[in-house]
Amino acid sequence: MERRSCPYCNMACRNVVLDVEARPSELDYENVAMLGSNIGIAHLGSASTLNRLADEYGIDTISLGNVIAFAMEATEKGSNGATSKGRGP
**Three-state DSSP class for residue 83:** coil
Q: What is the pLDDT of residues 54-79, one digit of tens each?
A: 989 999 999 999 999 999 998 888 87
Whole-angstrom distance, CA of residue 38 vs CA of residue 56: 21
CATH number for 2-77: choose from 1.25.40.80, 1.10.10.10, 3.40.50.2000, 1.10.569.10.
1.10.569.10
pLDDT digits (tens, 9 = 90+) for 17-27: 888 888 888 88
Q: How far apart are the first and last CA of the chain?
A: 45
Buried b (16+ CB within 10 A) or exposed e, 38-48: bbebeebeebb
Domain residues of the chain, as ranges?
2-77
